[in-house]
Amino acid sequence: MHDGCSGSFENGKQTVDKVRQMGFAEQPMPMPLEIKCECGETFEMEYFEDKCPKCEMVFGVVPCHAFDPANVKPAGINY
């Protein structure tokens, strides 16, 4: 599913699952990212797994890709 920092994921659920497996889900990111949710809300993503405050869409990003909002993937509402 993922091979270090060179790996990729097919969807947001795989990304969030990997972040959880690595133990980074509740850890703060080095730099918060501004994320535009599918519901139209913009929020600051502060953790490697975070949630839109409006619709509760869960987003995830692996630590080595946390420098760019393009790498943040939605996994599903309350995933």
Q: Which residue type is seen at 40?
A: G
21 — alpha (psi -120 to 50), left (phi > 0) or beta? alpha
Quick check: 2 pLDDT over 50?
Answer: no
In angstroms, the CA 53 to CA 63 distance is 22
Quick check: 31 pLDDT over 60?
Answer: yes
Q: Which of 50, 58, 55 is nearest to 24 (CA)?
A: 50
Tokens of 70: 């393009």
Give the HSE-up count for residue 22: Cα atoms under 13 Å, Cβ half-sphere.
20
Mean pLDDT of 62-78: 94
User: 0.85 exceeded by the pTM?
Assistant: yes
pLDDT digits (tens, 9 = 90+) for 7-20: 678 899 999 999 99
Contacts of 19 (CB under 8 A, 6+ apart): 25, 48, 49, 60, 61, 62
